[in-house]
Amino acid sequence: MSRILLVEDHDRLARLMCKGLVAAGIAVDVTDRIDSAWAAVQQMPYQALILDRGLPDGDGLILLQKLRNAGLGVPCLVLTARDALHDRVQGLEAGADDYLPKPFAMDEMVARVRALLRRPVEFHPLDPSHGDLTLRPEAGVLCSGDESVTLAPAELHIMQLLLHKPKEVVRRSALEAAAWGLSEAVTPNALDVALHRIRRKLLAIGSRQRIVNVRGLGYTLRENDVAE
């Protein structure tokens, strides 16, 4: 399931948009401010962004420009009550991929988001691998050599993020966001339980890779001959 970020401060509209997107098989995290949206995109690799312009802490284009200046190419659909030509041009020049004036039909909004999701943003291998591990997301399977094990959805998302950043330490908050999104309530030890299960599965398939806790920083993959 694709996951997008909706930045919209109108509660009723946000709920209606979420309902339409979820019905189309698109998971949605919602925030209503520029600062919280900026924090969210640091934690979660969203496939697309829906951005309102009139937000409590400023014009949504401020966030879009910040994203583009940081080299983040996540596709963005800008929503606004402003329908003047110069407003649309301003949004596109700020880095928007599409522009939808309010009011709009939910079916059209969903169709435009689907179109954005078909656009390639950043190349990731379909079956990410590192060392002796290969993840097959479509099958929900983690492989090492001829051995394989099935992963639960949260475990799959955690391994995807770790394998996409095999030489980096990934923060706990980023793993939680990848596994459950920002909108879902998660118990404090949910990540620890998921990591425990993944570690057992790594042993079961005979992998040399281990998920290592780098104290105070996060988690990374290392071969088991490296001291933990």
- Tell me the pLDDT of the chain (228 aa) as tens digits: 578 999 999 999 999 999 999 999 999 999 999 999 998 887 787 889 999 988 999 999 999 988 887 778 889 999 887 666 777 777 777 888 898 888 899 999 999 999 988 876 544 445 778 899 999 877 889 999 999 999 998 898 899 889 888 878 988 888 887 787 655 667 888 999 999 999 999 999 999 999 999 988 899 999 886 433
Indicate the pairing of strand 48-52 with strand 54-55: unpaired
Domains of the chain: 2-117 (3.40.50.2300), 129-223 (1.10.10.10)
Query: What is d(CA 126, CA 146) in angstroms, rounded to the nearest whole number?
Result: 19
pTM for the model: 0.58
Phi-psi region of 138 (alpha: psi -120 to 50; beta: other; left: phi over 0): alpha
* Residue type at 86 in one-letter notation: H
Query: What is d(CA 80, CA 54) in angstroms, rounded to the nearest whole number?
Result: 7
Query: What is d(CA 12, CA 2) in angstroms, rounded to the nearest whole number?
Result: 23
Other C-beta atoms lying within 10 Å of the C-beta of residue 126: 8
